[in-house]
Amino acid sequence: MQQSRKDFIKETAASVAGVAGGLSMLSLLAGCKDGKGGKKVKLLSTNGEVVEVDEDSIVHTIPEITQSSHNVREGIPGRKFVMVFDLSKCKGAGKCLSACSKMHYLPPERSYIKLTKMVDADLSAPYWMPSPCFHCDNPPCVKVCPVGATFKLSDGIVGIDNNRCIGCRFCMAACPYSARVFNWGDNDFELTLDEFEQITPHETCSDHQRGTVEKCDFCPHNIVQGKLPDCVTGCPYGAIYFGDENEDSVTNGDETVRLSELLRDKAGYRYLEELGTKPRVYYLPPVDRQFPFEDRKLDRTKYL
* Statement to judge: residues 11 and 131 lie in one domain: no
* Statement to judge: residues 92 and 153 lie in one domain: yes
How far is residue 274 from each of residues 23, 117, 143, 222, 286, measured CA to CA in Å? 53, 22, 18, 32, 20
Which domain, by its residues, includes 274? 81-303
Q: What pLDDT, in 10s, does the model give residues 94-134? A: 999 999 988 888 887 889 999 999 998 888 889 999 999 99
Contacts of 256 (CB under 8 A, 6+ apart): 243, 249, 250
How far is the C-alpha of 79 from the C-alpha of 233, rounded, in Å?
Answer: 20
How far is the C-alpha of 162 from the C-alpha of 167, rounded, in Å?
Answer: 9
For the purposes of burial, counting CB atoms within 10 Å of the CB of 194, is it exposed (0-12), middle (13-18) or buried (19 or more)? exposed
What pairing do the DSSP bridges indicate for beta strands 50-54 and 40-44? antiparallel
Is 156 within 8 Å of 133 (Cβ atoms)? no
CATH number for 172: 3.30.70.20
What domain count does the chain have?
2
pLDDT at 70: 55
Q: Residue 208: which of 99, 112, 124 has the closest Cα?
A: 112
How far is the C-alpha of 66 from the C-alpha of 39, rounded, in Å?
Answer: 22
> Which range is least confidently modeled, 15-29, 51-65, 220-234?
15-29
- 66 belongs to a structural domain: no
* Statement to judge: residues 106 and 246 lie in one domain: yes
- Where residue 303 falls among pLDDT bands split at 50, 70, 90? very low
Q: What pLDDT, in 10s, does the model give residues 125-169? A: 899 999 999 999 999 999 999 999 999 999 999 999 888 899 999
Higher-scoring residue by pLDDT: 302, 299: 299
How far is the C-alpha of 250 from the C-alpha of 242, rounded, in Å?
Answer: 5
* Statement to judge: residues 207 and 257 lie in one domain: yes
